[in-house]
Structure 1
C-alpha cells in the first residue's frame, strides 16, 4: 500500500526548458531500477515549470529514493538546468485509486 510520497517542483533556467524535459524523460530509466519506487511521474506544469511526483510504501523507500541515482543525477545538473534549487515536498498519501492492470 502506498503511504507517502514526494512532490518536487523544478523551474528551468531560460533556454533550458527542453533540456529539463529531456532529463526528466531519461530519468525514467533510473527510477525503473528502484524497487522501492513503484509510482513515479515526470510532469510539465507550465512552459518553464516541471515536476516529479512519486509515491512509496514507507518512509525507508522514500529515503532510499532521495539518496538514489535519480536524485544524485538531478542535483549534479541542478545549477546547469534550474533557475533555483528544486523544491522537495514530502507528502502523505491519504487515499489512492489505481485501475491500471
Structure 2
C-alpha cells in the first residue's frame, strides 16, 4: 500500500477554466509513463477550483514526480493559467479502501 501522497490545489484564472481542464486531461499520458506514481486523479471542485491527488510507494517516487514532466509543465504555465501559485501539500496516507484495480 502506498504511504505517500500529494494534494495540489489549482485556482484557474477567470476565463481559463476550460484550458485548465484540458491541461489536466492532457497530463494523463505523461503521468501514465511514471511507473512509481500509483494513483493519479485530476479533480474539479467548482468552475475554477481544481485538484490533483496522487499516491506513491515511497518518498523517492514522490520526489521524482515533483521533478517530472507534469510539475515542469505546471510551473511553465502557472502564470498563464492560474490566479495564484499552485498549492502543493505533501500528505501521509493513514488508511485506504480501494479495489485492487481501478481504471477510468
Q: TM-score under structure 1 normalisation?
A: 0.97
Query: Could you say which residue in structure 1 is the equivalent of 2:10?
Result: 10
> What whole-Å deviation, never above 9, does each CA across 1:1-59 have from its counterpart, x for those lacking one?
20010000000000000000000000111100100101000000111000100000010
State the Cα RMSD in Å: 0.7
Query: Could you say which residue in structure 2 is the equivalent of 1:64?
Result: 64
User: What is the CA distance between 1:100 and its match in structure 2?
Assistant: 4.4
Q: TM-score under structure 2 normalisation?
A: 0.94
Query: Could you say which residue in structure 2 is the equivalent of 1:55?
Result: 55
Which residues of structure 1 form unaligned runs of 5+? Answer: none
SS in 2 for 1:64: helix
Query: Could you say which residue in structure 2 is the equivalent of 1:86?
Result: 86
Which consecutive aligned stretches of 4+ in structure 1 deviate over 3 angstroms post-superposition?
A: none
- Quote the Cα distance in structure 2 between the aligned partners of 1:9 and 1:82: 10
- Quote the Cα distance in structure 2 between the aligned partners of 1:4 and 1:93: 6
- Quote the Cα distance in structure 2 between the aligned partners of 1:10 and 1:55: 18
Which residues of structure 2 form unaligned runs of 5+? Answer: none
How many pairs align? 101
